[in-house]
Amino acid sequence: MTDRVTFTAMEHGTREEYDLISAHDAANAASLPDRVLDWLRSMDGDSPYRISRLEHLLQTATRAERDGADDETIVCALLHDIGDVLAPANHSQVAAALLAPFVGEKNHWIVKHHGLFQGYYWFHHYGLDRDARDSFKDHEYYDACVDFCARWDQVSFDPDYDTLPLEHFEPLVRALFAREPRPFF
């Protein structure tokens, strides 16, 4: 049986009890890439696009890799829409939060803002401002986020593209989440 703490309110916990919880948390963190990969597989379902949400992510990552992107950027391309199912109203922010402890500031910013930047391709059909992203025109990562959308994201809905399988990206996913995470509380 799992060892358990004795307290019922956090304020009464001892260092030894928090060590017990930390050991459990470490095991949980070690299996994070397995859960991420399982979640991606769960996105291989029906879709109104011509390919599944998983295939869109794989195609985006494949294009990033073929453009010479580094491993961190490829994983960000692979995971940029992983928030779709859980957070349809703010999927970009959810993906960015998952990645934040493991990636640099630039990739985090791009993932976090890609939804707004992708709006350039469809907002106008709903009377919205397709140039809303230009509120970030002077931001140092504006051009990079425009490029992410133009070259990799918005074009990755093609059933005829030679997309690499998830197994190809698995080592990159495991390596990224094996990094020492920066704490975000």
Per CB under 5 A, the list member of 55, 65, 72, 153 interacting with Fe ion is: 153
Contacts of 159 (CB under 8 A, 6+ apart): 50, 51, 55
Residue 81 touches Fe ion, criterion: CB under 5 A = yes
Residue 55 touches Fe ion, criterion: CB under 5 A = no
Residue 72 touches Fe ion, criterion: CB under 5 A = no
Among 91, 96, 74, 70, which residue's Cα sits nearest to residue 184?
96
Please calculate the CA angle 71-73-75 and round it to the nearest 5 degrees: 70
Q: Which stretch binds Fe ion (CB under 5 A): 36-44, 119-127, 133-141, 149-157?
A: 149-157
* Interface with Fe ion in residues 91-130 (CB under 5 A): 115
Length of the chain: 185
Residue number, 6 or 91, with CB nearest to Fe ion: 91
Q: Which residues bind Fe ion (CB under 5 A)?
A: 81, 115, 153
